[in-house]
Chain A
Amino acid sequence: MGTALKIDNLCYRYGDRLALDNVSFACSEQESLGILGPNGSGKTTLFRILSTIAESQSGSIQVFGSDFEGNLAVVRRSIGVVFQSSSLDMKLTVRENLKHQGLFYGFHGAELDSRIDELLEKFGIAERGADYAGILSGGLRRRLELAKGLLHRPRLLLLDEPTTGLDPSSRADFWRYIDQIRTSENATVIFTTHLIDEADRADLLAILESGQVVAFASPKDLRTGICQEFVVLECDDDDRLSTEVGQDFDVTVEKVDGSIRIGTNDSGKLVADLLAKYGDSIHAIHSRKTTLEDVFFAKTGKWLN
């Protein structure tokens, strides 16, 4: 499998502020790559550069082996972009929106019509073709955006926080369509998000904080890279207990929102040991799998959400 995207030492400044600081990563064809970060981490700037709206200031980007700068037309042909804000014309119908998009990519006539039919069918909006985009629900508009971004059969699909503003069922729906696209259109998918559960869907995840990539691996490797599980307990005197547990068990103990959090690879044994030793002081105790939220905290010292 060839390389779909390769970013080397990308930097971007807004005046004195460094929005992207030596960002480097790569992903292969047909992989999905998530870019996870809070607001202000630089992910929107990165997306603006990848979608060719903004020009990179230093460093290099290659898409399917083509350098970004100097090959914009080629790059633009190979990428499909779904912005966070709508790029639909609300006063045009669903079909007209797609038709305009097709004409921009040189499609016309019967070929364009059949591609539009195919996409409307695929995204379950065939019966809404004659409706104005403005009267579609949020979920359907997102699907139309997807159809628009995919119309010219891009090899790389870029999505900027694509489920913003959608209710949980529309979000689930949207990701189901993305999974479908990856197989049916053979597309590489790159998306930005600040949501843990969406980030978990990626094959590869880049965690961005203050313009830097602080972690880059598969979500599974990122999680197991810290520890498999966490034991969380609540007690009266968390200062005392956290010091004692740290000394007695040789583990890293963190106090989070009035609870004590301990990373472990064997939570069953740890819970039993803790209860045996401090049973009287503990009000509640539970163990849970490590999440990407924990990974984010481990890498940045901050919580994402």
Chain B
Amino acid sequence: MVELITIILPVYSLLRREFVLFYRQKSRIVGTVLQPLIFWIVIGSGLDKSFISRDNMGYSEFFFPGIILMVILFTSVFSTISIIEDRRAGFLQGVLVTPVSRGTIVLGKILGGTLLGLMQGILFLLLAFTPLISIELSVIRLILLVSYMFLIGFSLTGLGVLIAWKMDSIQGYHGIMSVVLFPLWIFSGAVFPADGVPVWLFWVMKLNPLSYGLDLMKGCLYDSSGFQSSPNDTILALTLMILFCLVNFAVAVRFAQCRA
């Protein structure tokens, strides 16, 4: 019981800080929700007529889960970039000399970014219940979808933490973001479907762990999707995503455990 308290309290503290700081930085809301919303409306409207999908889906509808994924990705990026700021400002060293284990610190940080992303992702998801898009979601599918979004958020924030922990400049992180994190999103099937792409691109998409996360989301929103055609595919996708999530978490903790 005493042991559990030493995990719960610091995690709660880090989580709370994440939300308080988010609330006090209004500009972050613009970056993480408004930008994807504009993206979705502009690109969706622009490509709606010229986009032909296997399932007779308009581009706005096709792009919808991809844009939720973007919201989650952006939130995790913004949330983990603060590790570099915290290190530079000195806040982080104050945390590192407390008796709290590094695993707990990483867990608190990841949960903060994940829940923040989930909150914004759910806000975005509410669009599914407006006339802007015609998606029907049962309660079970909604619960599943939110769980998958949590899993994706946890994985991406974990990835963000492990990148940010070793970085000493925000510029460096932006560099990694544009060559690793953003392509992870583009090649996940968020922007274009995997059907009919060149073989090399198909394999890039197939090897991208985020493709499976997006597939899980699509599986909840629509009846069929990219790589999944049977329940076995869903189990495979889920297994791969959980693996991706655990590996990111483990490596992030490992990095955090290193002392100078």
Contacts and interface: CB of A to CB of B under 8 A. Distances in A.
Nearest to A12: B260
Given A86-B89, A89-B17, A104 B260 contact: no
Interface stretch (B4-12, B56-64, B71-79, B142-150): B4-12
A55 B259 contact: yes
Contacts of A53: 93, 96-97, 259-260
Nearest to B258: A55
Contact of B98 (A48, A54, A105): A105
Specify the main secondary structure of chain B where it touches its partner: helix
B131 interface: no
Contact of A91 (B9, B21, B90, B260): B21
B6 A106 contact: yes
A147 to B, nearest CB: 13
Interface in B3-40: 5-6, 9-10, 12-13, 16-17, 20-21, 24-25
Specify the main secondary structure of chain A where it touches its partner: loop
A73 interface: yes
Interface residues of B, number: 27
B95 interface: yes
B182 interface: no
Interface string A101-133: 101111110000000000000000000000000
B259 A89 contact: no
A13 interface: no
A104 B90 contact: no
Contacts of B98: 76, 101, 104-105
A26 interface: no
A89 B93 contact: no
Contacts of B86: 89
B89 A104 contact: no
Contact of B90 (A52, A85, A99, A100): A85
B196 interface: no
B100 interface: yes
Contacts, number: 79
Interface string A71-97: 011101101010101111111100010
A90 B94 contact: no
B10 A104 contact: yes
Given A87-B90, A104-B10, A55 B260 contact: yes
A148 interface: yes
Given A53-B93, A83-B94, A100-B13, A73 B99 contact: yes
A84 B94 CA distance: 11
Contacts of A106: 5-6, 9
B94 to A, nearest CB: 3
B129 interface: no
Contacts of A81: 94, 97
A16 B98 CA distance: 31
B203 interface: no
Interface of A: 48, 51-55, 72-74, 76-77, 79, 81, 83, 85-92, 96, 99-101, 103-108, 148
Given A51-B97, A72-B99, A103-B10, 15 more contacts: A52-B96, A52-B259, A53-B93, A54-B259, A55-B260, A81-B94, A83-B93, A85-B93, A88-B91, A88-B94, A91-B25, A96-B20, A104-B9, A106-B6, A106-B9
